[in-house]
A and B are shown apart, each in its own frame.
Chain A
Amino acid sequence: MLESFWILLLFPLAGAAVNGLCGKRLPHKLIGLIACGAVLASFLVAALAFVELTGRAADDRLVTVSLFTWIEAGEFVSRAAFLFDPLSAVMILIVTGVGFLIHVYSIGYMHGEDGYYRYFSYLNLFIFMMSLLVLGDNFLVMFVGWEGVGLCSYLLIGYYFKERFAGDAAKKAFVVNRVGDFAFLLGLFLIFREFGSITYLDAFQSVQSSYPGMETGFGILSLITLLLFIGATGKSAQTPLYVWLPDAMAGPTPVSALIHAATMVTAGVYMIARCSPLYSRAPETLLIVAVVGAATALLAALIAIGQRDIKKVLAYSTVSQLGYMFVACGVGAYAAGIFHLMTHAFFKALLFLGSGSVILAMHHQQNIFKMGGLKKYLPYTWGVMLVATLAIAGVPGLSGFFSKDEILWQAFSSPQGHPLIWALGVAVAGLTAFYMFRMLFLTFHGQERIEMGHHDDSHGEDDHSHHDAKPQEPGWSVRGPLGVLAVLSVLGGLVGLPAWLASTNQLHHFLEPSFHYQFVPEAHGEHSHALEMGLAGVTTLIGLMGIFVAYTAYLRRPHLPEQVSQRLSGLYRLIRQKFLVDEAYDAVIIRPTHWLSKNVLWKVFDDGVIDGAVNGTATVVQIWAQQLRKIQNGYVRSYATWILLGTALLFAYFSYFAA
């Protein structure tokens, strides 16, 4: 199974084709079955390949399969080739595993929506593209997947395309990603120019031989890595390109869970981890990555505090958590980044799916200020949401605690880290705990402020009818995945226990071969386990404090938030308005572009130059035609004369000049 792992790509592709081409005529049950079955098959293949991979010796855990040569031009060769090593194994398991759960969930969530087959076709296509991205053995295959997931993201954000905001959000996501993709492509060109190959292993061997140590100053390596990182800021929603992700919540909730929380947005983190041989030699870029990550984490966490839409809170929380992952990459702790990527996939998917369950029960009401007290009606959803919230808040023992703590420890102790980055991370941990519990308390606890949404829809007459006023738990296909993800959110951290708890960190140990070519700087001095434990204690304390503040403000003294927001009205307004980032982009980029397009490109260039050239040609022809048409006078004999004269001229020419 290991040698033919690539067949896992075929299932979702086939599923997407079948559902996309003839889904209109298939019954809904079959559509769901095909889509889920395809992803389950992929997951099983991935799991079998993973088991076989772990059976091999650590330095032998790498399989490449080349299917065919895709592009060959001079020295440039790109193969449709795939790589299965520990890093891609972990990624593909997350993608297909979480992907499968979300597919199952979608059967219940999307029940009765228009274009049911379209949804599952796109979702399968997404799994295919994401698998391409993580399994490719060269940068070009990764880029195909990279663009492909962007396309699927666009299609699924715009799923409710009859609503204007969904179309706008989809376009925004696509255009913002384009900025990043452009830089990514430039980085790809530079990699080929510098290292003569776009295959990972060849390029990394080349970089290892030409850069035995770190690059000094800002050289070509820093440029390449920076360009790739700009690509990552687009896809993984980091400052300054994060603005598309909150809008992307216009898509169906399972899509937000799968694409905009668990998998696609983590592609940037995977890419940096994959390129660790390049990044670990470019300290200048690493610093930028860490700073951007930390800044994004803080900014998004602050914005999340002021959000009222349950999905928007989670969206900003995702941006913030992605910031953590980039901090990990920025301090050279790629395995820690992947670890947090994994645990985040579990608990954030769970949070989104849980919120989907709430939204379903509330008939598409998303404002948490119009919920409250839902614990009574949705005890199951409340339970799993509580687990996920505890996990993301970093309560000891749950998965989020271990991964977040490891990132913070690395930020503090790694040679490329800095206590300041650690401090930022800890502050964000506190904010995270606060805004997550704010959301939980406002949704499930306290006073009932229930106002059902008015989703005029196709949900029809069946199980969740609009007439009953009480929110109800959704069906099994929604509850099942929630349960599995809840278990994973609790236990997921066990694969990466910190040094003060276990002798080996399983995940690190497993991922090590994938980071083989990276440059490991010498650590200055040893840090004791006691220090690591102490810092973890500090983080935990801050997190608990966040929870306590949320408890006080939203449950014990519900009037406190209002008083605080009045006292700090300036700051509060700034947070509510999301630091005016969208408005700033509008003023600095969108409006000037609009103006330029309208007044210069349209009215001057298009109307003047292009239309002028076209119309001018026509006018010249017309003037000539006006004169020439007089030759056609209707007298047959005059035509005969012209023919005769012409023949005579030709005759004369051939007799005198051409003889």
Chain B
Amino acid sequence: MVPTSHYLILGAILFAIGSFGVIFRRNAITMFMCVEIMLNAVNLTLVAYSRSFNQVDGQIFVIFVMVVAAAEAAVGLALIVLLNKRRGTLDVDQIDTMRW
């Protein structure tokens, strides 16, 4: 059987990839996908612990996260589409109207 630590290490690697993607990529869609990777990294960790402690709580939590992620995808993609229509670009560094 695969030990829990492997899952955790994989989750950590996925989370790191996701967060570096959010920080270094400028395309809004890419950033959005990276956020999804981070969410799934967390999901993986939760499921891993759930199995390791033999408790169902973690899995229930994962379902909640998926629901929220789905809702977030709907709203987030709609925002990105509108952004593209208005500004003609998806480069987040150019969207800085609210800065000081």
Instruction: List A residues at the B interface (Cβ < 8 Å).
Output: 629-630, 632-637, 640-641, 644
Contacts and interface: CB of A to CB of B under 8 A. Distances in A.
Interface of B: 19, 22-24, 26, 31, 92-93, 95-100
Nearest to A644: B19
B100 A640 contact: no
Contacts of A640: 19, 22-23
Given A629-B100, A630-B100, A636 B92 contact: yes
B98 A634 contact: yes
A632 B100 contact: yes
A634 B96 CA distance: 4
B96 A635 contact: yes
B100 A637 contact: no
21 contacts: A629-B100, A630-B100, A632-B99, A632-B100, A633-B100, A634-B95, A634-B98, A634-B99, A634-B100, A635-B92, A635-B96, A636-B93, A637-B22, A637-B24, A637-B26, A637-B31, A640-B19, A640-B22, A640-B23, A644-B19, A644-B23
Contacts of A644: 19, 23
Which applies to chain A's interface (DSSP): helix, strand, loop or mixed? helix
A518 B47 CA distance: 93
Nearest to A640: B22
A437 B60 CA distance: 105
B45 to A, nearest CB: 14
A641 B24 CA distance: 9
Nearest to B98: A634
Nearest to B20: A644
Contacts of B99: 632-634
Nearest to A638: B23
Contacts of A630: 100
Which of B31, B98, B100 lies at the interface centre, i.e. has the most chain A CB atoms within 10 A of its CB? Answer: B100
Contacts of A636: 31, 92-93, 95
Contacts of B19: 640, 644
Q: Which of A629, A630, A632, A634 has the most CB of B within 10 A?
A: A634
B8 to A, nearest CB: 14
Contact of B93 (A629, A632, A637): A637
Nearest to B34: A640
A633 B23 CA distance: 15
A644 to B, nearest CB: 6
B93 A635 contact: yes
A528 B98 CA distance: 104
Contacts of B93: 635-637
A29 B26 CA distance: 85
Given A632-B99, A637-B23, A637-B24, 12 more contacts: A630-B100, A632-B100, A634-B96, A634-B98, A634-B99, A635-B93, A635-B96, A636-B31, A637-B26, A637-B31, A640-B23, A644-B19
A641 B96 contact: no
Contacts of B92: 635-637
A633 B24 CA distance: 16
Contacts of B100: 629-630, 632-634
A636 B79 CA distance: 15
Contacts of B95: 634, 636
A629 B99 CA distance: 9
> Which 9 A-B pairs rank lowest in CB-CB distance, beginning with the nearest?
A634-B96, A634-B99, A629-B100, A636-B92, A640-B22, A632-B100, A641-B23, A637-B23, A640-B23
Which of A630, A635, A644 has the most CB atoms of chain B within a 10 A radius of its CB?
A: A635
